[in-house]
Chain A
Amino acid sequence: MARQFAYYPGCVAEFSSKELNATTKALAPLLDIELLPMPAATCCGAGDIAEAKPNLYLTLNVRILSQAEEMGVDILTICNVCTLNLRRANKMVKEDPRLLEAVNEELVKAGARPYQGTREVTHLLWFLATEEGLSLLEARGPRGLNGLRVAPYYGCQLLRPSSVMGFEDPDRPQSLERLITALGGEVADYGSKTKCCGFPIILAREEVALRESHVALSEARDAGAQCMVTPCPLCHLAMDAYQRKTEKQMGEEYNLPVLHLPQLLGLALGIPTADMQFRRHMVPVDEVLQIVGA
């Protein structure tokens, strides 16, 4: 029987980066995952609502958790920021029954369902980097990545704070590496794979943000990467959509295609390239497609 999740793609994957949502939906049936829609789920607030109105952030995110509870399944995310915001809210109310009670009071007043604290939130990467996930990939008999040199890029909020995230060592993560290797790719290793892409301040402080993304882009390039892969659509925007801008600001060339994690899996599993909507990327991925023979 298919493994069911309450699917929480997040705003960016639904709008700016539709290619991520489309690829995830194409990938799920191949891995025997059923993605159940959450039509009443709001934005997680992306850290911005937590900053402006922390109590509102908590209540809105618990409302989302409660929807998954009503569906009787755990939440699956494909965005670092959504994962942190939902997990943080979940941890806060699970560890503090009085806080949960106060939040539920607000939810009930608003006509929403109260939360009992029974759900978990996991990212697609975490699900796939376990024994269960890897065996699902193997069962598909992937055609493989043909030695493609891939720079894993984690970004920040899937790793830190580890007290909230906790899937793996935030300083020596291995989940992306495990998947790249299992799919017949080569890991292009570099130091800044756990550093920030700058996206949270890219609209307010663009120059600073681009100096941040420059660090990982230049290191990945120097490590001989043929592409970068990321589990987060915000990192993807910073690394792909803004890459030409960063090149201009820093006076350097990276020319590094950036794949969403499900796209890398899709290439290895033979999802038709048109379905993964690479045309929506700013940096062309043609060479990557050639190497893997897609």
Chain B
Amino acid sequence: MPSTTFRIFRFQPDSGKTEPYHQDFVLEHEPRITLLDAILRLQNEQDGTLALRYSCRSAICGSCACKANGKTVLACMEQVEDLKAANVGGVVRVDPIGNFAPIKDLVADMTPFWEKFKAVKPFLIPDGPAPEKERLVSKEAMQKIYNESKCILCAACYSECNSLAADPEFVGPAAFAWGYRFAADARDGQRKERAKLYSGEHGIWDCTRCMFCNERCPKGVDPRDAIEKLGSIAFQEKVTSDKGARHAKAFLISMRTGGKLNETLLVPYTDPIGAQFNLPFALQMLRKGKAPSPIPHRVKHLDEVKHLVKNVKETI
């Protein structure tokens, strides 16, 4: 029977230990055992004070997200043998989910997560009077929000979100996946209002595109893609005053006028006011030859590009 060392994050402020630490547990177990079952056995057999959240044990409830060897997972979806094989030394290190304050051991304070979730209005807000019968939605229309509908709110995407680490107020991936799920729902009547709500400070344009959310999501929701699609909805609804949206607009103008990024346009167009205060930095860049040529670059067959920019229709 295999034996595994688990190095588990402990934090027990109630028992007078104010600093977190790691504690090693050794467990003999059947070759096939999930990380969640292993931790539960440790709790039952070795230390009843070991705290964790869990419920369904089958990747539906989203309670048991934690870090295994530094990588955010659902504990119920990981095989201990796989985790051992992936880690040098064969020790399985277990930590609470990242970007949230620990309460006790593997239990983190999820209050900010639920506040952000509520802030995106994660429910249908239909327009006009209610129909006599139910609102019918085509399969094709539901397909557009299928990915996002799979979210189980486990917060694995928040755990390693680089924007959230740098800005705790960033609304974040799962909340925006739900935001898109309703903004793009054929029955919802708040598309423009949602675009405005999601476009503010700490909103969709704060996403740094680190792609950790897509990488970590255990359900294939791809929250970054949802944020991207919300950007597209903002463009269609002409909600484009945020600096992030203006940054994207500068790319569209560049494409139409030369086919390559017009860096001379990018900085002042994104942030017309801030660019003036950034003058000393701009001069430094200039001295290093990093200031772009003011003449737009033109690719060959620019007419093709112009035709595409003008005629390709968006379908979100």
Contact = CB atoms under 8 A, between A and B. Distances in A.
Interface of A: 11-12, 14-18, 39-43, 45-56, 59-60, 63, 106-107, 109-112, 156-157, 159-163, 170-172, 191, 195-196, 198, 200-201, 203-206, 208-209, 211-212, 215, 241, 244-245, 279-282
25 contacts: A15-B261, A48-B247, A49-B251, A51-B228, A52-B235, A52-B249, A52-B251, A53-B314, A54-B314, A54-B316, A63-B304, A109-B311, A111-B303, A111-B307, A112-B304, A156-B162, A195-B162, A195-B210, A203-B270, A204-B244, A208-B166, A209-B208, A211-B167, A212-B165, A280-B288
B244 A18 contact: no
Nearest to B243: A204
A110 B307 contact: yes
Interface of B: 70-71, 86, 162-163, 165-167, 170, 205-212, 214-215, 222, 224, 228-229, 231-232, 235, 242-252, 254-255, 259-261, 263, 266-267, 270-271, 274, 281, 284-285, 288-290, 292-293, 297, 299-301, 303-305, 307-309, 311-316
A274 B154 CA distance: 52
B243 A16 contact: no
A50 B228 contact: yes
The interface centre, meaning the residue of B208, B215, B242, B271 with most chain A CB atoms within 10 A of its CB, is B208
Given A56-B312, A110-B307, A161 B214 contact: yes
A45 B205 CA distance: 16
Given A39-B300, A111-B307, A212-B166, A53 B312 contact: yes
A52 B252 contact: yes
B273 to A, nearest CB: 12
Contact of B292 (A15, A206, A209, A212): A15
Contacts of B315: 55
Contact of B231 (A52, A59, A282): A52
Contacts, number: 202
A48 B251 contact: yes
Give the 9 A-B residue pairs with the shortest CB-CB distance, closest first: A160-B211, A51-B231, A11-B261, A204-B243, A110-B307, A196-B210, A211-B166, A40-B300, A196-B162
Contacts of B70: 171, 191
Contacts of B170: 208
Main secondary structure on chain B at its contact with chain A? helix
Contact of A281 (B255, B266, B274, B288): B288
A212 to B, nearest CB: 5
Given A109-B307, A211-B167, 8 more contacts: A40-B299, A42-B259, A54-B314, A196-B210, A203-B247, A203-B271, A204-B246, A204-B270
B208 A241 contact: no
Contacts of A111: 301, 303-304, 307
Contacts of B228: 47, 50-51, 54
Nearest to B222: A161
Contact of B244 (A109, A159, A205): A205
Given A39-B299, A49-B248, A279-B288, A200 B209 contact: yes
B290 A156 contact: no
Contacts of B271: 203-204
Nearest to A47: B209
A157 B211 CA distance: 7
B244 A201 contact: yes
A15 B308 contact: no
A52 B246 CA distance: 10
A56 B212 CA distance: 25
A208 B163 CA distance: 7
Contacts of B308: 56, 59-60, 63, 106-107, 110, 112
B162 A18 contact: no
B290 A205 contact: no
Contact of A106 (B214, B252, B299, B311): B311
Contacts of B224: 161
A190 to B, nearest CB: 13
The interface centre, meaning the residue of B210, B263, B267, B288 with most chain A CB atoms within 10 A of its CB, is B210
Given A42-B255, A45-B255, A171 B71 contact: yes
A93 to B, nearest CB: 14
Contact of A203 (B165, B267, B316): B267
Given A59-B312, A110-B311, A212-B162, A43 B301 contact: no
B102 to A, nearest CB: 19
Contacts of A191: 70
